[in-house]
Structure 1
Amino acid sequence: MSALPSWIDERIDRNLDNTLSQEHVVKTMIESDRPFFSLRQLHARIKPEVSRATVRNRLQELQTIDVVATETYPDSITLYYINHPESDWPLSPEGKRALHTDTPLDRLSTRAFLTLSDTAGIRTLVLAGLQLSLVLFALGGVLTIVGADVSSTQSDIVLWDTAAELLVISLALLLVERLARWVRDRYSPLNLLPST
């Protein structure tokens, strides 16, 4: 098992007389890929020979020292999670950072683009293309009104042509992505490219 964060390590009780330690409960929760647990789920992961009452007692102790927090829902369902001081439930600090830094374009891979499988990434790309075409149209309009050309290349016309081409490409990409999504929903996913 890995080392505990210092803010947890300072708070937990190292009572070796208990059949289940606070440290073991916390490490089980941290090392899991789940952000929260019911008592039953946590009991199944810890030790089958330890009773649920013992797991509940350790969780209550951890809650008292603000290492674990709970959310209670109807039907008496209580979920337990690590009470990370620098984020809101149930996100760990790493999860919170990932949400703030990971955009759809950051996650868009070449494979997801070629197979049109990452809807959010492709739509973000299309939106960027539409916005860039709007900027190019506006810039071409300003150059036409001002009557300025860059080194006599009729830059306003070049900008309008580029904007029109970018607009058509963006709309075509959006149409193809929606068609691919419709085909996947109707006929199940097609594996055109081998997975890595």
Structure 2
Amino acid sequence: MESEEDVLPDWISSRIEEPNFNKDLTQKRVAEEFVFGDRPFYSVSQMHAALGGSASDDTVRTRLEELNERDVLRLQEINNGKIYWVNRPESTWPIPPDVEVEPKSSETSLSEWRNQTHVQTAAVSILAAILGTAITLVGVFQIGGYYQLPISGNDLITYGLSAALVSYVGMIASGAMWIFNQSAPE
């Protein structure tokens, strides 16, 4: 734990009760261990050890539950026990003390990018181009006499080139959708 001069953040201080020195363990002392301690989360026994064993496990558990009820701590049941961590506004999970949380990025994530209509249209167009190329090659090899299929080689080449044409139309449409999305006011 860092020095005793450290002050709890206002959002925590406003939620905990005033120190009652008639109690073995105050909410403030437990909150200080969470904020200034070396761990991102604690179980009851870990908190008991971090506090020097001066209070019973039941007292520690009670203070942790009180802080959870006051929305200072979050908890998760794990392996027949509970772990507690500070309910920080920047994350719903424990944050190690040596990690600086960056603000939420305004950049598009990969999943958001993949779900955009113009990207999906371009992907289908590329797939159509690959499929059209394969069909055209099969048609060329059939005309060359390498093998016989129940469909004529000329028809295969026509279907393959048609798929390629559809692919180019899809790519142009995808580009147009992207341009309209970029020029649209947000």
Query: Which structure features the higher share of helix residues?
Result: 1
Structure showing greater Rg: 2
Normalising to structure 1: TM-score of the pair?
Answer: 0.46
Comparing both chains, which one has the higher relative contact order based on Cα–Cα distances under 8 Å and sequence gaps of 6 or more? 2
